[in-house]
Each structure stands twice: as structure tokens, then as C-alpha cells.
Structure 1
Amino acid sequence: MTVFLTTERLVLRRFTPADVDHLVELDGDPEVMRHLTGGLPSTRDWVERTLLPLYLAHYERYGDLGWWAAEERTGGAFLGWFEFRPTEEGERAEVELGYRLRRAAWGRGYATEGARALLRRGFTELGVERVVACTMAVNRGSRRVLEKSGLSYVRTFHEDHPEAIPGSEHGEVEYALTAERWRAREAREARGRSGILEA
């Protein structure tokens, strides 16, 4: 198992061909897929032939940027995945943040914990200068995670989808965070902690 990073409760590792069942199960939950496909599942054939090869190919191209399987640090249960990959082929300065977690993992702070860890790693070790994330405007849960992770709303936009799903008429929203803003926030928080300790 190739571990990318660990947090207090999570292990983010590389996907392997043995993860097909995990991905089929994850994408088979209509609630997980509600804001992505309107609840339609991904087929096993598509996961095996398209999705998993895409994940594995990113490790070959970028090494430390791509999609990461998320597991519980205690017990090793598969929770879903986090995405932290370049928005443009061959470029590393701007990456897209994303996540997809099993319903059993919702509401437990895993998405925010993983997102914050990826931001820290990206801005301190990987040379990332800007992180962007997009979700449906009506996906309030995902928007809360992005805001709690430090990203700010940038714009609302509309894409042409082959088939509309409930809520798509309200468009998609983009959030972003720059390395400069992240460092400034980290410095403010450090000063705040220092002030509390000195009081």
C-alpha cells in the first residue's frame, strides 16, 4: 500500500486494481451520486475499463497529484476518495480539489479533515499556487465543506449537460484558495494561538 498522507483519522493512499469493488459500491449509492448523475450508478465495466485506469495513469504522470483512496486510520474501512490533481495537463500550479465519500462517512468531518490536509500538503510541499473546487449550487453540504476548508466562492456558471438532473438549473459554483491567502490565514491563526498561550 502506497500512503500519500495521514491525518488524525484518515489514511489517503494510492488506488490499486483491487479497489474495483470499493468504487462500484461507492458509485452504486443513489444518494452519493445524486448531485453527479441524478442518482444513476457507475457500471462495473466503466469502473474497470475507464475510471480506475485513469486514476492509475495519473500516478505515472504526476506521482503526488491525483485521486487518493480514503480509509479510516483505525480499522482501515474504505470511506471514499479525495481528488487533488492538475486542472491543466502538465501543469502543477493549479489543482482541483474534490471528494466522494460513502454515506456512512457523511457528517463526521472527514471531508473537511481530508481537504485541509491536502491543502497544507499542496501549499507547503507540492508547489501548488491555487486550488479550485466545483460543485452543484444546490449541494449545500459540499459547499459547507469547501468554506470550512478555507476556500471562497468565486462564481456561478452553467454547463450544457446531456441530461439535466434535479438542481442543475441552478448551475455550478466554483470556489478557490491561493497559496498566498492560505499562508496569511495560517499566520493569523498561529498568532491567535500564541496570544492565547501568553494570556
Structure 2
Amino acid sequence: MHVETSRLSLRPVLATDVADLYRIYGDPATNTFNPAGPYPDIDYAKTVLIRWLDLWQTHGFGNWAISLLDSPETVIGFGGLSIRSYEDIMINNLGYRFSTEAWGKGLATEFATCALKYGFENIEFSEISAVVRENHLASRKVLMKTGLRYIKEIHDVKDAPPSLLYSLTVDEWLRNSK
């Protein structure tokens, strides 16, 4: 399921994306706000990629490899929609991570807007949520710009301070997108 925005090209992840996945998720800079830290090695990235590929096979949605329209061969990030379990709740999770050279250009907001539209229109989710660290102000701004609102603290990483759960219902999205 290939999707385009005004500047981005999104395509479902491929097994050949493992080096790019490790390059981005293994970078300490992209994990500044992730208490779990960067991926330890390429084998870990392979394990994650297998799980992502399985999600596409099983549910017909998942993570995309993100590139710029004018440079489709260079992956600048990964993001998408997944089903996650936190504490006692299941959520339709919006997640993304971009390489540092893509930061500060509004690309995360553009991606999140597209992913929300896809989730509500194509998958027909009734609600989409995201989990973010309290001190990750840039990501919190992206979530708020795209209409998600703070719901509550959530304990998602053992022995770490709680994260913040943001959420948006399809009805709220429809009201905001008019």
C-alpha cells in the first residue's frame, strides 16, 4: 500500500530495509528520548523487521519506509500504525522515527497527518493513539498539531518514568478535518 504526501513517499517495509532500520533505530541521537535505548545490533533490527513484515501479512497495515518524493531510494525514517498493548489497554498505535537529517522540517507532522488519514479512512479505526516521552517536546507538538490530545500517563518501559498517552477518535478527526 504505497502512499504519497506533498513531500513524502511511504511504502510498506521490505526485508531489504534492515540496514536502514538499524542505521536509524541504532543511532543514539534518534533514541535521545527512548529509555530502551538504540537497537543493539543488526540482528535485533532483523527481528523487529520480521515482526513488522508479519503485521502487514496478518493485518494489511503496519510500518512504512519513509523517503522524500524527490529521493525515493533514500530511507529517511520509518513509521506507521500497529496494535500495541500497554498495561491493561490495547491501542491502535501511531509511531515514527526519522533520521536526524530529516528533523526540524515538518516531515513528522506531514507523515503523522497522512498516517491518521490512512488509519481512519482505509483501515477504519475508531481511534488512534500515540505514546510519547514527557520530555520529547518536538514529538508532543507533532501529536497536538495533528489533533491528538493528552489522555493520561502510561507505564511503557520498566524502571523508567511514565510516558504520555495521546489519542484521537475518528469523530474528533472528522470534525477537525473539515
Please give the TM-score of this superposition, normalised by the length of structure 1: 0.80
Post-superposition shift, 1:39? 4.3
Say whether the 8 Å CA contact 2:21–2:78 is kept in structure 1: no
Paired position in structure 1 for 2:65: 69
Deviation at 1:156, TM superposition (A): 1.6
Determine if the alignment matches structure 1 residue 97 to structure 2 residue 88.
Answer: no
Larger Rg: 1
Instruction: Compare the two structures and name the one with the higher strand fraction.
Output: 2
Cα deviation, residue 140, structure 1: 0.8
Asked if 1:6 corresponds to 2:4, the answer is: yes
Matched, 1:157 2:148: no
Displacement of 1:36 after TM fit?
1.6
Q: Which has the higher helix share?
A: 1
State whether residues 32 and 39 of structure 1, in contact with CA within 8 Å, keep that contact through their aligned partners in structure 2. Answer: no
The count of residues paired between Structure 1 and Structure 2 equals 173
Is the contact between residue 94 and residue 129 of structure 1 (CA under 8 Å) also seen in structure 2?
no
Residue 172 of structure 2 aligns to which amino acid in structure 1?
A: R
**Structure 1 pair 181–95 and aligned structure 2 pair: CA distance change class (3 A):** same
Q: 2:53 aligns with which of 56, 61, 70?
A: 56
Structure 1 residues 118 and 40: CA distance shift in structure 2, 3 A? closer
Give 1:20 shift: 1.2
Q: Normalized against structure 2, the TM-score is what? A: 0.89
Instruction: Mark the CA change 1:39 to 1:125 in structure 2 (over 3 Å): closer, same or farther.
Output: closer
AA paired with 1:78? V
- Let me know the Cα RMSD of the aligned residues: 1.9
Query: 1:84 — aligned with what?
Result: 81
Asked whether the 8 Å contact 2:80–2:115 carries over to 1, the reply is no
Which sections of structure 1, spanning at least 5 residues, go unmatched? Answer: 188-199
Structure 1 CA distance for aligned equivalents of residues 65 and 130 of structure 2? 18
Structure 2 Cα separation of the partners of residues 137 and 55 of structure 1: 26
Contact kept in structure 2, 1:27 and 1:42, CA below 8 Å: no
Consecutive unaligned residues in structure 2, runs of 5 or more: none
Q: Is the contact made by 1:66 and 1:83 (CA closer than 8 Å) also made in structure 2?
A: yes
The aligned residue for residue 116 of structure 2 is 119
Equivalent of 1:43 in 41, 44, 56:
41
Divergent runs of 4+, >2 A? 37-42, 157-160
Corresponding residue SS for 2:28? coil
Q: Show the counterpart of 1:22.
A: 20
